[in-house]
Amino acid sequence: MQYIVNRRAQFSASHRYWLSELSEAENWKKFGACSKFTGHGHNYVLFISMAGELNKYGMVINLCDAKHVITKEVTTHLDFSYLNNVWSEFQETLPTPENIARVIWQRLAPYLPLVRVQLFEHPELWADYMGKGMESCLTISTHFSAAHRLVSPALSDEENAEIYGKCGRPHGHGHNYHLEVTVKGEIDQRTGMIVDLSALNKVIDDYVIEPFDHTFLNKDIPFFAQVVPTAENIALHITDLLRSPIKKLGVQLYKIKLIESPNNSCEIYCNQPELSSVIATSNEPGIPRI
């Protein structure tokens, strides 16, 4: 049986997005304020995931040993550093979260049984690297506030009350939804990016946040006129809204995670076509989330 164990580490560092072959105006157009001469910094949080079978001591790996390796090979070099000058890999390919995670994998792979390197640049942006060449995942976390009522037009009032309980009360109720959008693509050999982050943020804002924020989902979003706006169905609809515009940015929509409350969330791995069209033609009610 395979087990996965995780070790957390952190470091503080600065970096700059700047390509020497471009002019100052071209760098500004491509990277905006991230190209400023003075650079900028982050408190990075790193999670190293390792897999294996249990040894006779009941461990996949001694996490104290893992800590020493991570400290020696990674954090000692990166903590309180200017990343562009630390490792040669960051001079060839810029130190974006995607590329930093990739290079950390390369530094640790000879010593640890890695399955994932996850690097948080800040709580709303992180990268996952799984050792697949230049392929990486990038996640943006954002939020919107909306009300909904869990009620199916295909059911009687009595049936709705039995299934949805207080979530089906006539005036609805609201949530502060947290949305995580994960995309997958190839790291550019020069910029270190899998996607233009500003363009990705704009797509998410235009197709989800602006239309959904401060709405009554059942009444303001046409899709939910006939579909029960459970967390599952909302996540499905968001998946279909984002799939095509994200593909036009040159990356693949990989996962949607919708957090309805601290107690309830839904994840969808987006490798199936047009999921919500199936839901829209089904009479099956969604599951209440209280």
* 270: annotated active-site residue: no
Q: Which of 71, 94, 69 is nearest to 83 (CA)?
A: 94
What's the chain's Rg over C-alpha atoms? Answer: 22
Q: Which distant-in-sequence residues (6+ apart) come within 8 Å of 156 by Cβ?
A: none
Catalytic residue among 137, 180, 260, 270: 260
Catalytic residue among 167, 175, 180, 232: 167
What residue type is assigned to position 78 of the chain?
L
* 260: annotated active-site residue: yes
How far apart CA 258 and CA 64 sit, in angstroms, is 35
* 167: annotated active-site residue: yes
Phi first, then psi, for residue 226 (nearest 5°) are -120, -5
Catalytic residue among 24, 214, 267, 274: 214
- Give the tokens for residue 122: 């800040």
Length, in residues, of the chain: 290
List active site positions: 167, 214, 260
